[in-house]
């Protein structure tokens, strides 16, 4: 009798668990492609560009930009729903907690308001929605800019976008595995004889996500430089001329975005300076290709 009662219960529980995971995964995939579909179709009939010239009136540029921003926003909201399930089912909060767990009593973070756990989950879901929406954001950025680019510039842009995504992941990894643990160890080890830490989940996640996303974004410097060079807004000579000003700006930015210690500031400043030098090299390559292409076009005419 005992086995007749417990066997079906175990079977039902295992079945519901498996089908629940399958259903959740299917729902996330469906929401992701729904966001892609909406974003891809949304501005497609708005403000068409003149073929072959890449030119359109200024007001039509603004109209196209407005619709692209609207559909990107809608897509991010839809993907934030998927982000909510990811945060709750895959324990994203637990993953973000790991760097601080050895440094707080019992490895637990606190909350001071009945609504704080839900608020934190919703905010983190929105961040995950933005991350999931990166392909859509890149798609619309490319759709807006590509008609104004030369064929050779388009060929360079696609590897640049892939490289930018890898640089973003590299910045996130550096912040999560190196900068965040070292910064927390320094900050929470300061004045420990007189003070005890009471860290709330909301304040910690705000601190951690800001630092991680800041590193991911600043590692996009070479990609931004390449895009600006494609648009003719900067050259390698311009970057070289303002190198000293850039170093001062990098130091100030690092001091603002990192915790209040010299170590983490230098850990952000050093790769930024290195990425600035890499940007100079990439922009110099773009300049040479642009000059060579222009010379061939002039010769063919």
pLDDT-derived band at 277, boundaries 50, 70, 90: very high
For residues 147 and 149, give the distance between their C-alpha atoms in angstroms, rounded to a whole number. Answer: 6
Tokens linked to 10: 């175990």
DSSP state of 50: P
Q: Is 275 within 8 Å of 221 (Cβ atoms)?
A: yes
Q: Is 67 within 8 Å of 47 (Cβ atoms)?
A: yes
The pLDDT of residue 185 is 86
**Average pLDDT rounded to a whole number, residues 195-218:** 87
pLDDT in tens, 100-119: 988 888 888 888 888 998 99
Tokens linked to 105: 């009593």
pLDDT in tens, 110-154: 888 889 989 999 999 998 888 888 778 877 887 787 777 667 666
For residues 54 and 144, give the distance between their C-alpha atoms in angstroms, rounded to a whole number. Answer: 10
Neighbours of 297 (CB within 10 A): 10
Average pLDDT along the chain: 77
> Which of these ranges, 73-87, 144-158, 179-193, has the smallest mean pLDDT?
144-158
For residues 114 and 53, give the distance between their C-alpha atoms in angstroms, rounded to a whole number. Answer: 58
The pLDDT of residue 248 is 92
The pLDDT of residue 194 is 79
Tokens linked to 186: 């320094």
**Average pLDDT rounded to a whole number, residues 270-295:** 84
The pLDDT of residue 27 is 57
Q: Is 272 within 8 Å of 225 (Cβ atoms)?
A: no
Neighbours of 261 (CB within 10 A): 15
């Amino acid at each position: 009798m005992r086995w007749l009662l417990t066997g079906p219960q175990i079977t039902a529980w295992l079945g519901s668990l498996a089908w629940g995971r399958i259903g959740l995964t299917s729902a996330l995939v469906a929401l992701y492609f729904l966001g892609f579909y909406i974003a891809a179709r949304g501005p497609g009939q708005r403000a068409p560009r003149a073929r072959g010239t890449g030119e359109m009136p200024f007001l039509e540029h603004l109209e196209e930009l407005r619709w692209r921003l609207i559909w990107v926003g809608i897509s991010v909201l839809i993907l934030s729903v998927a982000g909510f399930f990811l945060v709750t089912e895959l324990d994203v909060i637990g993953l973000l907690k790991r760097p601080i767990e050895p440094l707080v009593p019992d490895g637990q973070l606190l909350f001071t308001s009945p609504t704080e756990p839900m608020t934190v989950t919703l905010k983190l879901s929105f961040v995950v929605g933005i991350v999931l929406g990166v392909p859509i954001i890149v798609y619309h950025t490319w759709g807006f800019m590509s008609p104004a680019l030369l064929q050779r510039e388009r060929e360079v842009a696609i590897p640049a976008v892939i490289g930018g995504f890898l640089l973003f992941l590299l910045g996130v990894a550096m912040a999560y595995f190196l900068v965040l643990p070292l910064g927390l160890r320094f900050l929470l080890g300061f004045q420990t004889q007189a003070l005890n830490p009471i860290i709330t989940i909301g304040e910690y996640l705000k601190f951690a996500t800001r630092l991680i996303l800041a590193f991911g974004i600043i590692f996009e410097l070479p990609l931004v430089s390449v895009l600006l060079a494609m648009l003719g807004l900067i050259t390698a000579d311009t970057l070289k001329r303002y190198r000293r000003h850039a170093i001062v700006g990098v130091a100030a930015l690092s001091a603002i975005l990192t915790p209040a210690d010299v170590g983490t500031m230098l850990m952000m400043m050093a790769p930024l300076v290195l990425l600035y030098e890499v940007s100079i090299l990439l922009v110099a390559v773009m300049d040479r290709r642009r000059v060579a292409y222009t010379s061939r076009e002039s010769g063919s005419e």
